[in-house]
Structure formats: C-alpha cells, structure tokens
C-alpha cells in the first residue's frame, strides 16, 4: 500500500494502492507507519512523497465517508478527521524536509497531504487536476485545507478556490501558488525532488508552525480581512441562498481558524467538518453525486454478452451549436469526426467554434498545443455525403422537425457501415417513430446531449421499441469514451429529462400569467435552488423550440394542448412579438451587445403584475420543485426510468435540480416522507393535478 525506498540519504514514500490511491483508515495507518519509519531513521535526511499510480492521491475514500455520513455520529466523524490531521501534522513537523512529487491528480485530502509538505513539484500534464473540490460534493476540507491554503497563498484566493471547489490544471495551480515547481516529464519528478532536498541545507519548516506566526495579509480582524470576509459572505449568500451548509462551515473554519494558533485552527476545521458531514445535504449529495454517479459510470445497464464497440468514424448531421459541440466532444475523445451541413457558412461557424474552444483550453493550460492540434485534425467538415461513407456512428442534430429528420435519415443511410448505429439528439420526439422512419429500428437509438455539450456531463440514452442489445451496449461504450455519465431511459415523448425539467419552465410561465412579478419569479426560482430562473431558462432553451415541439406534439397526437402555458405564451412571444429567446437576441430578457442581460421592460404590459404577500414566497418556491418531483414520479411509475437512482443523477447533472436535495427523488427523503406527502397534497388541492404524486 505504501512502499518505502531509499535514494542515498533520502527516503521515498510511494503510494501504491490496488485500484486508486485514497485516504481510508487502512491507508492512513499504513502511511503513518511508513512515515514514522523514516522520520525516526537517523540516516534519512529528507523525504519524497509520491505515487506509483496514475493519480497522486484522489482524496478521501468516499465510500467510507458515506458510512460516516449515514451514521451521523459527529464525534466519530471528528475523531476520524483529527486522526488524519495528526498524521499530516507529523509530516509537517517531523523535523525533516518533505517534498510532494505530484505525478497525477491531487484532489481533496490528496492535495491536503501535499499542503502539509514543505515543497510541491507537479508534472505539467494537461489531464492532471489539483485542488480542494470537497464543497462540490456537499462537504468541506477536513485535513487542513482551510488552514494551510490561506496561510500559503493568501486569504482571498484561498477562499475563492475552497468555496468554488475549483480543480486546477498544473499550470493554473502553479500560477495560484498551490505548487512551487513544474516539470515537463513525469520521470523528472523524483530527480527534481531529490535535487531540492539536497539544496535544503537549513530546514525551517512551514512558517505557520512557528509559535509567533501571524498571517500578514487578510487577517480576519484587519481592515483588509473584514473587507474580504464581508464580500465572501455576501457572494456566498447570493450564490447559494443558504442551501449548502458545508460552504458556510468552510467559510467559518477559515475565519475562526486564522485567529488562533495553527493547531487550534486544525481542530476548528475538524469540528466544522464533522458538523458538515452530519447534515442531510451532505448525505444526499455524497450519495447521488459520487456513489450513484460512479455506479452509472460502471455501466450497470450494459448487456454483458455484447463485445466492446469499435467505432472509428463518427458523423454529426447538423452544424448548429449543438452539432458543433457534439463534434468537438467526439474529436476530443479520439474519434475521426465529420460534420455535415448544407450550409458552408454553418460549417465555417462550427470550425471556428472548435478552434476558439481549443485556443482557450491551451491558454488556460488545460490542453497542450500538440493535443489541441490533434483534436482539430480529427475534425472534418463537408456539404457532401460521399466523404461520410463507412460511418460507424451517425448522430443527427438537426432542427426538431419530424419531416427534416426523416429526410436526412434517408440521405445518410447508404453511407452507414453495415453494423453502424444511427442516433438522434432529439430532446422530445419519440425514438421509436424516428427509428421506423429511418428504416433501421434495431440500429437506432436516442443520444440526448445537454447544452453546452462540451461541458455538460450527462448523456440521456433513449431506447426505441426495437433497439437491439448491441446498439444499447455500443451507445453506452461511446458515452464513457467521450467522458459522459450515461442514463438509460425507455421511449416516451420528452423522455425523462425534457419531460421533467419542462415543468419548471411551465410553472414559471403559469406564475407570469397569474400576475406574479417577473423579477420575483426569477429570484424565487434561484432561491429554490435552480441554477437560473424559469424565464431565463426559457430564453436559453428557446421558447420558439418549446413552442414548435408543442405544435408537433399536437399534430402527432391529434389533440389540442391549449391549456399548456407554452401554447398561449409561445403564440404571443414567437408568432406576434418575435421574441423567441437568447439566440434571437430577445425574449423575456433583453440581451445588449455589451453588458448584462435584463428583463424586458414591456413584460408588465402583456402580463400585468399584482402585489404578492411575502408570506406566499415559500409556497411559490415549493411549486417550482414539487411540480418536478410529481412529474418524475409519474415517469418512474410509467417505466420510463430503469432505476429511480438514475433519475437523481440525471436531474442534477442534466438540468441542475438542486444538488443539496440529492436529486428529484431523493428530495422526498430530504424533506421527510410525511412532510413531503402533506405538502404535495396541499399543492394539488390548491393548484391542480399536476401536483398529484400518487
């Protein structure tokens, strides 16, 4: 688990766990024993901590953390945190210089171990991540991160990194001061670490270990410190509305810990770490954002008997924003990727899109120039079909119109390889009907990406009635290859994600029609925990697209959907006012060429506002979340989802359902089953059957 080797008068402690290097009770014990063996060896003048695995140290064993969370024993959590603190403190104060040679990702507790060392050298590889991302899982640093990082790089930048949970590439980490040196090759790490040790003749340790140490800039009681912490509190409140206790506890740990001796600061951190893990938010987020997410990445729904996919050539039909982003993702994953469109101008925009993305990634140190060039070389653009011959996977990303899609299926089919898969990126149209129109129902599947596809981690895979097991298996293989988290659902109109998150937008439109002021609608949506307000989301998705889908649904089903708020609002905004959303430059918001967007001043002319009693605000907030849960429960009952746990992951990663609840189904437990049932019954009685959760 921890190997000890010697290089002359220096010792190497090498992490080599069977699967992934993580902090667990067993690995901490093994590391402590190895550490003591070299600290007490008079022949050892210095120590290098490194790894034989691809990662340096991935942080805490999250499954063990989950066990602590489920037990909710604050004292037990505190003792476990403090044990790690003591071991890391021993690294720091053992009397010998220690270097962290970081040859892979160092996250959470992994970077906290590096922080306890006296010098940090990282391999400058673009796929390595360094930082303290615990707050993105509902947790907070618990092995010294809130105390060492502000003392090392300054209070303001440390607060930014801790509260945002940012993962930095080595070049970014070096610029921030998280590591002192970078090397170009992994094999240079140990020689450079040994060289640093050999040049350290008078070892003084980390400055904050001195009895008289006091942080110079940003001390909480200084004028600068008060300004920094006041701004941090305000920004945190604006961003989270108090929904994430782990963030507040992390901020408190920094504030309180910087006013006391360093070791006492570590105790304060461990205390807040224990309180964080005992919250319902931590329990919900750890379960969904790590445990269930990892389960989906292990492909539990993949047919076992099907051999792995061997896709080589991927074709994207449609060079719009979604098609361009999907193509970029495929080329980034190593596929030879072709983008087909009838418009040379659209293809040029797609080419510029990928070039700009790659240039930005290189500038940020997230991608080497050589890798960026390789990605660009794998992207090809054409207005013709002949170059697409032999395509192993075709992803259609054209306008949400059945006739247009059917036409491109007929045109591409002769160029599909004999076992090739044809997929649609449709967000709503039933896959079975599209598969029948394509003429290859067994090799047809839905691959629903989320915008922006180059960043959003979810891929919704939709099974048609006749989709083969091989097609499903290969689609799942593809999802992992391109770095997406796959959720498999059965066919229906809107599938799972579009169907459920659409209720959020519709509830906002209903409130607008009820006379609720637009700014209040938006603010209450964010206070409920959604990333943006429903009107802003309607602009982003495009009200014209929602309106077009509704009209297509009416034609397909032969019914009138006049009661749907998209019908009346869409007719007004799309057909009469020409305000279809952000892409058109105007919708519920105005989008000036420079400056921030703002709500259209004429909204009140078409939707007169009325005074709203502040006592009703909690009820309005609840409507936004409970309507989504009700729709999700109906989808589950109808068999659209294969597993409710999949829906939790999809809801957070796909459309930003409040992560602190654990997802659209976990919210029931988060609220409490009895309280949830009573609230849902009240909303049903007051607002109608869309809140029926039976």
Instruction: Look at phi and psi of residue 606 and say left if phi exceeds 0, alpha if psi is from -120 to 50, else beta.
Output: alpha
Q: How far apart are CA 13 and CA 31, in angstroms?
A: 8
Q: What is the pLDDT of residue 561?
A: 86
313-495 sits in which CATH class?
A: alpha beta
Fold of 498-691: 1.10.1040
The answer to whether 434 touches 405, Cβ cutoff 8 Å, is yes
Q: How far apart are CA 441 and CA 614, in angstroms?
A: 53
CATH 3.40.50.720 range(s) for the chain read 313-495
Q: How far apart are CA 415 and CA 474, in angstroms?
A: 19
Q: What are the catalytic residues?
A: 112, 134
Q: What is the pLDDT of residue 141?
A: 95
Q: What is the pLDDT of residue 19?
A: 87
Q: What is the pLDDT of residue 427?
A: 83
CATH 1.10.1040.50 range(s) for the chain read 498-691
The DSSP string of 638-652 is: TT-BS-HHHHHHHHH
SS3 238: helix
Residue found by looking up tokens 């782990």 in the block? 246
Q: How far apart are CA 90 and CA 228, in angstroms?
A: 31
What's the pTM value of the predicted model, to 2 decimals? 0.91
Axis-axis angle for helices 25-39, 74-93 (nearest 10): 20
Q: What is the pLDDT of residue 432?
A: 94
Residue among 127, 7, 5, 128 at smallest CA distance from 56: 128
**CA 579 to each of CA 47, 518, 587, 588, 667: distance values in angstroms, whole numbers, following the listed order:** 65, 16, 4, 7, 35
Instruction: Look at phi and psi of residue 205 and say left if phi exceeds 0, alpha if psi is from -120 to 50, else beta.
Output: left
The answer to whether 462 touches 428, Cβ cutoff 8 Å, is no
Helices and strands: H and E segment counts in the chain: 29, 19
Task: Convert the pLDDT of each residue in 122-150 to its tens digit.
Answer: 999 988 999 999 999 899 999 999 999 99
Q: How far apart are CA 457 and CA 279, in angstroms?
A: 26
Tell me which DSSP letter residue 119 carries. Answer: E
With 0-12 / 13-18 / 19 or more C-beta atoms within 10 angstroms meaning exposed / middle / buried, residue 591 is middle
Residue found by looking up tokens 């615990």 in the block? 134
The DSSP string of 441-462 is: GGGEEEEEE-SSTTT--EEEEE
Neighbours of 208 (CB within 10 A): 19
Q: How far apart are CA 400 and CA 170, in angstroms?
A: 42
**CA 79 to each of CA 25, 73, 86, 94: distance values in angstroms, whole numbers, following the listed order:** 11, 10, 10, 21
**Mean pLDDT over the full length of the chain:** 93
Tell me which DSSP letter residue 309 carries. Answer: P
**CA 213 to each of CA 2, 206, 261: distance values in angstroms, whole numbers, following the listed order:** 33, 10, 8
CATH 3.90.226.10 range(s) for the chain read 2-278
H or E element, residue 162: helix 155-164
Residues with Cβ within 8 Å of residue 360, at least 6 apart in sequence: none
Q: What is the pLDDT of residue 589?
A: 96
Residue found by looking up tokens 């029948």 in the block? 436
Query: Which positions of the chain have pLDDT values less than 70?
Result: 71-72, 201
3 state SS for 166-204: CEECHHHHHHHCCCCEEECCHHHHHHHHHHHHHCCCCCC
Residues with Cβ within 8 Å of residue 324, at least 6 apart in sequence: 339, 349, 350, 353, 354
Tell me which DSSP letter residue 128 carries. Answer: -
Neighbours of 3 (CB within 10 A): 13
Domain range 2-278, CATH architecture: Alpha-Beta Complex (3.90)
Is the four-CA dihedral 374, 378, 383, 387 of positive or negative sign? positive
SS3 100: strand
């Amino acid at each position: 688990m921890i190997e000890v080797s010697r290089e002359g008068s220096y010792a190497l402690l090498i992490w080599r766990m069977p699967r992934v290097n993580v902090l667990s009770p067993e690995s901490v014990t093994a590391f402590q024993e190895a550490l003591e063996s070299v600290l007490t060896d008079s022949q050892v003048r210095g120590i290098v901590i490194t790894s034989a695995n691809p990662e340096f140290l991935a942080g805490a064993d999250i499954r063990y953390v989950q066990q602590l969370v489920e037990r909710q024993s604050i004292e037990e959590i505190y003792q476990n945190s403090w044990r790690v603190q003591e071991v890391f403190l021993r690294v720091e104060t053992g009397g010998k210089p220690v270097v962290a040679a970081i040859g892979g990702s160092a996250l959470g507790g992994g970077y906290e171990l590096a922080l306890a060392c006296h010098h940090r050298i990282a391999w400058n590889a673009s796929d390595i991540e360094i930082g303290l991302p615990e707050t993105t899982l509902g947790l907070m640093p618990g092995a010294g991160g809130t105390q060492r990082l502000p003392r090392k790089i300054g209070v303001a930048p440390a607060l930014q990194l801790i509260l945002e949970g940012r993962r930095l590439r080595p070049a970014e980490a070096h610029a921030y001061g998280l590591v002192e040196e970078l090397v170009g090759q992994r094999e240079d790490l140990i020689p450079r670490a040994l060289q640093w040790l050999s040049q350290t003749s008078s070892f003084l340790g980390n400055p904050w270990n001195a009895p008289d140490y006091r942080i110079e800039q940003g001390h909480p009681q200084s004028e600068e410190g008060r300004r920094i912490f006041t701004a941090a509190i305000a920004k945190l409140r604006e961003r989270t509305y108090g929904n994430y206790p782990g963030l507040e506890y992390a901020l408190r740990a920094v504030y309180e810990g910087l006013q006391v001796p360093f070791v006492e600061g570590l105790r304060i951190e461990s205390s807040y770490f224990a309180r964080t893990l005992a919250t319902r938010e931590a329990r919900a987020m750890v379960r969904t954002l790590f445990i269930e997410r990892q389960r989906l990445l292990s492909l539990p729904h993949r047919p076992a008997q099907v051999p792995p996919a061997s896709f080589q050539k991927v074709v994207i039909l449609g060079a719009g924003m979604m098609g361009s982003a999907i193509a970029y993702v495929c080329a980034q994953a190593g596929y030879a990727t072709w983008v087909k469109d009838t418009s040379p101008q659209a293809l040029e925009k797609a080419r510029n899109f990928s070039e700009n993305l790659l240039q930005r990634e290189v500038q940020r140190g997230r991608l080497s120039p050589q890798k960026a060039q390789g990605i660009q070389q794998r992207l090809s653009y054409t207005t013709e079909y002949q170059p697409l011959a032999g395509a192993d996977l075709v992803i259609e990303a054209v306008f949400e119109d059945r006739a247009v899609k059917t036409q491109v299926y007929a045109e591409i089919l002769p160029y599909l390889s004999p076992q090739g898969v044809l997929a649609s990126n449709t967000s709503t149209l039933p896959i079975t009907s599209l598969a029948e129109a394509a003429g290859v129902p067994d090799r047809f599947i839905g691959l629903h990406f989320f915008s922006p596809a180059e960043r959003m981690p979810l891929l919704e895979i939709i099974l048609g009635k006749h989709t083969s097991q091989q097609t499903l298996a290969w689609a799942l293989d593809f999802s992992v290859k391109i770095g997406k988290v796959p959720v498999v659902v059965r066919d229906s109109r809107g599938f799972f994600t579009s169907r459920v998150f659409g209720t959020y937008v519709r509830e906002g439109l209903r409130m607008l029609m009820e006379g609720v002021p637009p700014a209040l609608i938006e603010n209450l949506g964010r206070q409920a925990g959604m990333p943006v307000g429903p009107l802003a989301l309607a602009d982003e998705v495009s009200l014209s697209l929602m309106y077009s889908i509704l009209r297509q649904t009416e034609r397909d089903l032969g019914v009138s959907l006049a009661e749907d708020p998209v019908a009346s609002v869409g007719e007004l905004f799309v057909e009469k006012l020409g305000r279809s959303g952000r892409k058109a430059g105007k919708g519920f918001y105005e989008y000036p060429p420079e400056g921030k967007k703002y709500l259209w001043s004429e909204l009140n002319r078409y939707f007169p506002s009325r005074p709203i009693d502040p006592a009703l605000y909690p009820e309005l907030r609840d409507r936004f979340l409970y309507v989504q849960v009700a729709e999700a429960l109906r989808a589950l009952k109808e068999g659209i989802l294969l597993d409710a746990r999949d829906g939790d992951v999809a809801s957070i990663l796909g459309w930003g359902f409040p992560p602190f609840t654990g997802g659209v189904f976990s919210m029931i437990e988060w609220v409490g089953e009895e309280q949830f049932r009573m609230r849902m019954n009240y909303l049903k009685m007051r607002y109608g059957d869309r809140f029926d959760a039976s």
